Chain A
Amino acid sequence: MITFIHPGLLLLLSFVPPLIYLRHFWPGRGGRFPFSFTIWQKEIFRPGFGLTRILLVTGTLAFWVGVTLFILALSGPELVKRKKIYLTRGIDIMFVLDESPSMAARDFSPDNRFEAAVKVIESFVKGRDHDPVGLVGFGKDAVLEVPPTLDYSFFLQQLHSLKVMELGNGTAIGMGIAIACLHLKNSTAKEKIIILLTDGENNAGEITPETAAEIAASLGVKIFTIGLGTNGEVPLEYTDPRTGKTFKGMYEGVYDAALLKKIAESTKGNFFSAATPGALKNVISSIDSLERIEMRSRVKIETKPVHREIILIGFLLVLYNFFIRKWLLREVV
C-alpha cells in the first residue's frame, strides 16, 4: 500500500490540466517557434505524420507525466508494510523421527511409513506460526538434525533430506528422546514438547526409553508418542544410503504400544496410534490443537520511502522530452 506524508501537496496536480491547456491549446500562447526549419517541407510549417510526429507526441506526453511524477514525489510517497511482531514466546516442539528400515513398510499407501510421517510433520510445521521446531532422527543411533528454530525453511529442507536406514539398523527410542531433551534443556520456552513417531520396539542405544522419559519429565517436557503401522505382513522396500543396495521383502512387526503409552503418561503427554494416512493426519491435528498457546502480537508498520525512484523516473521523462525537442528537432527557444 502507498501512503503520502504530505497528501495536501497532491492538490498541486490540479494545476496540471490548466497548464496543459495553456501550453498546447490556448490560442494566445506565446513563444511559437516550436518546429525545426529542417523539417519544413516547403508548403506547410508542421511536422509530418511519421517519426517526427511520434517523437513530438511521446516527448510531450513524457514531459507531462514527468511533471505529474514530480508532484507525486513532493507529496512524500511511502510503501507501507505491516509486520507482525510476536510478544510472547511460542512452544518449543521437537520431532523425534524413527529412520529404521521398518519405516519403509508400505502400509500408508501410496507412501511408506517414513514418507507419510515426513508429510504430516511438514503440514504440522506449516500450520504453526511462531513456535520453534526441531528435529531428531534415530535408527541404531540418534542425531540432532535441526535444533529448535523458527527458520522453518531450513527445518523443512533438513526434514526432506532424511533417509531411511541413514542412522543404521535399529530403533534407539531412548537415545532419540534423550538427544531431544538435551537440546530443550536450556530453552526459555514456557512449554516444551516432543512428538515421537516410531513403528518399532526399542532395541538399541545406551539410554532406555523409560530413563529418557524420566529426564523429559524432570525438564517439564511433554512427550506425545505416535505408533505407526498395522499388524500383519507388509511389503517393504528401501535403499541403504551407505551401500546403495535396494532391499525388498515382507515385514511383520508392531510398535511397543505399552512402552509408548508409558512414556507419554509419565510426561503428561498422550499416546496415539496411527494405522492409516488419515489416522496419522488426525493424530497430528489433535496434537496441533492441544498444544497451542495464546500468542500476543503487535503490528509494526514499516515504511519505505519511494520518492527517489519517482523523482528519477520523472527527471528522465522530462529530459527525454528535452533531448527530443532540442537535439533531434532542434527547437531553438
Chain B
Amino acid sequence: MIYYPDNLWFLLLIIPVSYLFFKNFRTGKHDLFQTEGKWGKQQLHDVYLLRWFFSSLVFILFMLLTVFALAGFVSKSRKITDLPPKGDIVFTFDISRSMLSDDIPPGRLKRSLLFAKSIMGELPAERYGIVVFKGRGVRIAPVTEDSEAVLNRIASLSPAILTSKGTNIEEGVKTAAVSFPAGDDRRRFILLFTDGGALSGKLNETVKLLKEKEIDTIVIGAGTIEGKELPIRDKEGKPVISKLDETVLKYFAVETGGHYFNLADPSAFSGVMKVLRSEISPSRVEVVRNDSYLLPLSFALVFLFLYILIRIIPWKSVF
C-alpha cells in the first residue's frame, strides 16, 4: 500500500531526463567525430559510451528510488490497545436550505437532529459540541459535558440561524476541527450531516487537516439520490430539485479514513454506534501503518554517490 500515491507523478520526470541523456549522448558522439575524425580511437568511443550508459542508468535509478521513498510504502502494522476510553464528538450540520427537503421524513435536517440526539442518548458520558455551516462555519455549542445545553441548542437549529449563502464543507469541517479543547487525550470525532449538494471548499485541504489533527470522521448523507423539489425557486423562477450527492461524501469519508452512512438507511444508526463504540472502547485495537522510506532512500543515495563517482574516476586516461 502506498501512503502518498500523488508523489508517483514525479516518475514522469524520468521521461525528460532520459530524453536529455539520449539527446546529449548523440550531440557528444557527433562532437567526438568532429574532433577526432574517422581516425579517432575506438577506445575513446567505447569509454564515452560506457560512461554515458552507467551515468544515465544510476541517475535514473536514483530518481526512481527517490520517488518511491517520497511515495512511502507501508511495510508493517502495529497494534495499540492502551488508549483513553473517552471521546469528544462535534456534530457538524449542513444547514443550507436544501436540508429543508422532506425526501426523508420528517425532513433532512430534522432527521439529522434526531439522529444526533439519539447518539447523545446512547453515549451520555462523552462530551459534545455543535458546528453549523452554510457559506461559513459557526460554533453553536462548544465541546462540553453539559449535554442538556447541547440538546437545547440542537432543538433550536434551522437554516434561519445563519445568513451566509452556499454549502462550504471546508468551512464547516475546519471550524469543527478547531473546536476540540487541548489538554485532553480523548478520541476526537466529527459527525458530518450533509446532503452533499452544491458543496464548495477545498476537500483535499480539509482531509489533510483532519489527518494532521487525528480526527476521525463519520459522514452521514441526508436525503435520497432521487431527490425532491424544494419549496423555493431559482433565479429564473424554475423549481429547485435537491438530491443527495453520495459520490463526493463517500470520497470524503474514504480520504479521511472515516466512514459513510446514509441517513435514510435503517441500519445507519447501529452502524454509527458500532463505529463509535469500537473507537471509544478502552480495548480498542488500532492499526498503525509504518511508512517504509528508509530502504528506497538508502539505495537512492547509493546511486547518487555512484553518479558522482562515475564523473570523478579517470577512465583509462582518455576522459
Contact = CB atoms under 8 A, between A and B. Distances in A.
A185 B147 CA distance: 11
Contacts of A70: 66, 297, 300-301, 304
Contacts of B293: 307-308, 311
Given A28-B314, A188-B145, A330-B24, A322 B51 contact: no
A312 B70 CA distance: 7
Contacts of B51: 31, 333
A73 interface: yes
The B contact surface, by secondary structure, is helix
B142 A333 contact: no
Contacts of B63: 315
Interface in A1-57: 6, 12, 15, 19, 22-23, 26, 28-33, 37
Contact of B184 (A12, A29, A86): A86
The A contact surface, by secondary structure, is mixed
B148 A183 contact: yes
A302 to B, nearest CB: 9
Nearest to A92: B145
B286 interface: no
Given A151-B181, A327-B20, A332-B24, A23 B70 contact: no
B4 A149 contact: no
A176 to B, nearest CB: 15
A291 to B, nearest CB: 18
Interface string B60-80: 001100100110100000000
Interface in B265-305: 291, 293-294, 297-298, 300-301, 304-305
A23 B311 contact: yes
- Size bin of chain A's contact surface: 35 or more
A170 interface: no
A22 B312 CA distance: 6
Nearest to B150: A147
Interface of B: 4, 10, 13, 17, 20-21, 24-25, 27-28, 31, 48, 51-52, 55, 59, 62-63, 66, 69-70, 72, 129, 139, 141-150, 152, 179, 181-185, 291, 293-294, 297-298, 300-301, 304-305, 308, 310-315, 319
Given A67-B308, A70-B301, A311-B70, 12 more contacts: A29-B312, A30-B311, A30-B313, A86-B184, A134-B146, A146-B142, A148-B146, A151-B179, A187-B146, A315-B70, A318-B62, A333-B24
27 contacts: A19-B308, A31-B311, A31-B314, A33-B28, A74-B297, A130-B183, A132-B145, A134-B144, A134-B146, A146-B142, A147-B142, A149-B142, A149-B144, A154-B139, A154-B179, A155-B142, A183-B146, A183-B148, A186-B145, A187-B145, A311-B293, A315-B66, A322-B17, A332-B24, A332-B27, A332-B28, A333-B28
